[in-house]
Amino acid sequence: MFRYVPLMWKNALRNRRRSALTIASMAFSLCLLGVLFALYRGLYLAPATPGQELRLVTHHKISIAQSMPFSYEDKIRRVPGVRDISAWQWFGGTYKDARDSKNFFARFAVEPDHCFNVYQEMQILDDQKQAFLHLRTGAIASDDLAKSLGWKLGDKIFLIGDIFPVNPELTLVGIFHDEDATQTLFFNHEYLREMLGAGSALQDQIGAFVVQADSASSASQVPAAIDQTFENSSAPTKTESEEAFGLQFLSFLGNLKLYLMIVCAAVTFTILLVSANTVAMSVRERVRETGILKTLGYTPRAILLMILGEAGVISVIGGVLGLLIATQLVSMVSKAGGMLSFLTTLSITPDVAAVCLGIALFIGIASSVVPAWNASRTSILDALRNSG
């Protein structure tokens, strides 16, 4: 088998224009597959980070847009297995010009004294942490957000409310680093409640609670315990992992998992047809050559393997080039991930690369099976009679 490799290589690239076009089509198709597989893995198969393993999110059972009584916090805190809990209120609102996409970032009202316990992996200087704990109008921002907007410590940040009829005037007192909280601004939930006032129905409502379990075993038991506590209340809850909660935002787009699978299948089928047509043309042009090889002693099995190998060489070359392009694209997407944290960790991992190269090899072999089989079974007389 290996002694035929040089011949496979020469035959695969003998028609350079056609081979180059085939490789290019394989490369762009495998690039698309690589990006889609990386996205699928990042969304549904990526393991939880050490901080996420113990973190849960409790929200309204009907919809994440529905609010719950703020009084739930004390009851959840008493559930066995709960280490700490923090209010987690999406503020929304507008920062400067809403038409500028860079001004759109996550804005959450949290409880500073509990927030750092829940997000234990958050890296922030102690003096900045203390400032956030004690300054009612203080706010902290992720380092990537501060860099993109040019924020410095002490800067004033003015938000215009839309969900809430208030306009917070914040002071940036800290800049933190957290892989699970990119493009994010945190400010004091108590400040938000004070601005709403005692007469507002929104003051004692909350969008979600972020819960820190005390162990991995508790993280699997706490959700059911919390939800049972409020099962018969007017605002039943749903508690789930932080990863599952994040995927709910993508569910607004529909069944994304199904869409990704359909697109991957369509791309694979299309490139299979293109490759099959290319191999069939190449084999038809070399019928007489096949007859000559048989007269020189090449067996049908050797001819079959050579043609399969030629198609495999072209497919693998295209697959490798496609993965290189996909790696660059994924790197660009991850740097521009913004508040979509799963995009910031997007990458072409070894398992994704292996799957893509496996598909490339499968396409090459599957597309050449029929032409290779016919060529290997063509008699010498019929082959030499063929005018090409």
Full 3-state SS string of the chain: CHHHHHHHHHHHCCCHHHHHHHHHHHHHHHHHHHHHHHHHHHHHHCCCCCCHHHEEEEEECCCCCCCEECCHHHHHHCCCCEEEEEEEEECCCEECCCCCHHHCCEEEEECHHHHHHHCCCCECCHHHHHHHHHCCCEEEEEHHHHHHHCCCCCCEEEEECCCCCCCCEEEEEEEEECCCCCCEEEEEHHHHHHHHCCCCCCCCEECEEEEEECCHHHHHHHHHHHHHHCCCCCCCEEEEEHHHHHHHHHHCCCCHHHHHHHHHHHHHHHHHHHHHHHHHHHHHCCHHHHHHHHHCCCCHHHHHHHHHHHHHHHHHHHHHHHHHHHHHHHHHHHHCCCCCHHHHCCCCCHHHHHHHHHHHHHHHHHHHHHHHHHHHHCCHHHHHHCCC
Are 105 and 152 contained in the same domain? yes
Residue 195: name the closest of 265, 274, 269, 93 by CA: 93
Residue with the bigger pLDDT between 56 and 21: it is: 56
Has residue 7 got a pLDDT over 60? yes
Among the residue ranges 16-20, 285-289, 339-343, the one predicted with the least confidence is 339-343
Are 41 and 74 contained in the same domain? no
CA 340-341-343 angle, 5° bins: 75
Predicted confidence at residue 2, as pLDDT, reads 57
Has residue 256 got a pLDDT over 50? yes
Among the residue ranges 76-85, 110-119, 331-340, the one predicted with the least confidence is 331-340
Are 17 and 126 contained in the same domain? no
Structural domain contains residue 59: no
Predicted confidence at residue 378, as pLDDT, reads 76
Tell me if the pTM is above 0.85.
no
Predicted confidence at residue 342, as pLDDT, reads 54
Interatomic CA distance for residues 157 and 172, integer angstroms: 7
Are 118 and 210 contained in the same domain? yes
Predicted confidence at residue 368, as pLDDT, reads 81
Among the residue ranges 42-46, 161-165, 294-298, the one predicted with the least confidence is 42-46
Are 202 and 78 contained in the same domain? yes
Stretch 47-56: mean pLDDT, rounded? 74
pLDDT band at residue 273, thresholds of 50, 70 and 90? confident
Q: What percent of the chain has pLDDT over 70?
A: 86
Are 279 and 315 contained in the same domain? yes
Predicted confidence at residue 339, as pLDDT, reads 45
Are 268 and 378 contained in the same domain? yes
Average predicted confidence (pLDDT) for the chain: 83
Domain count, the chain: 2
Q: Which of the listed ranges 259-263, 288-292, 342-346, 380-384 does the model predict with the highest average pLDDT?
A: 259-263
Are 119 and 268 contained in the same domain? no
- Phi and psi based region of residue 241 (left: phi greater than 0; alpha: psi -120 to 50; beta: remaining): beta
Predicted confidence at residue 38, as pLDDT, reads 84
Structural domain contains residue 54: no
Are 328 and 364 contained in the same domain? yes
Are 71 and 217 contained in the same domain? yes
Interatomic CA distance for residues 34 and 255, integer angstroms: 20
Which range marks the domain in which residue 287 is found? 2-47+255-385
Predicted confidence at residue 21, as pLDDT, reads 82
Predicted confidence at residue 361, as pLDDT, reads 86
pLDDT tens-digit readout, 173-206: 999 998 777 789 999 999 999 999 887 888 889 9
The residue to which tokens 């996409």 are assigned:
101
Are 86 and 229 contained in the same domain? yes
Structural domain contains residue 249: no
Has residue 100 got a pLDDT over 60? yes
Predicted confidence at residue 205, as pLDDT, reads 92
pLDDT band at residue 46, thresholds of 50, 70 and 90? low
pLDDT band at residue 251, thresholds of 50, 70 and 90? low
Predicted confidence at residue 121, as pLDDT, reads 85
- Phi and psi based region of residue 254 (left: phi greater than 0; alpha: psi -120 to 50; beta: remaining): left
Tokens found for residue 183: 């493009």
Predicted confidence at residue 56, as pLDDT, reads 92
Phi, psi of 13 (to 5 degrees): -115, 15
Are 338 and 373 contained in the same domain? yes
Residue 239: name the closest of 55, 50, 48, 52 by CA: 55
Predicted confidence at residue 152, as pLDDT, reads 94
pLDDT band at residue 86, thresholds of 50, 70 and 90? very high
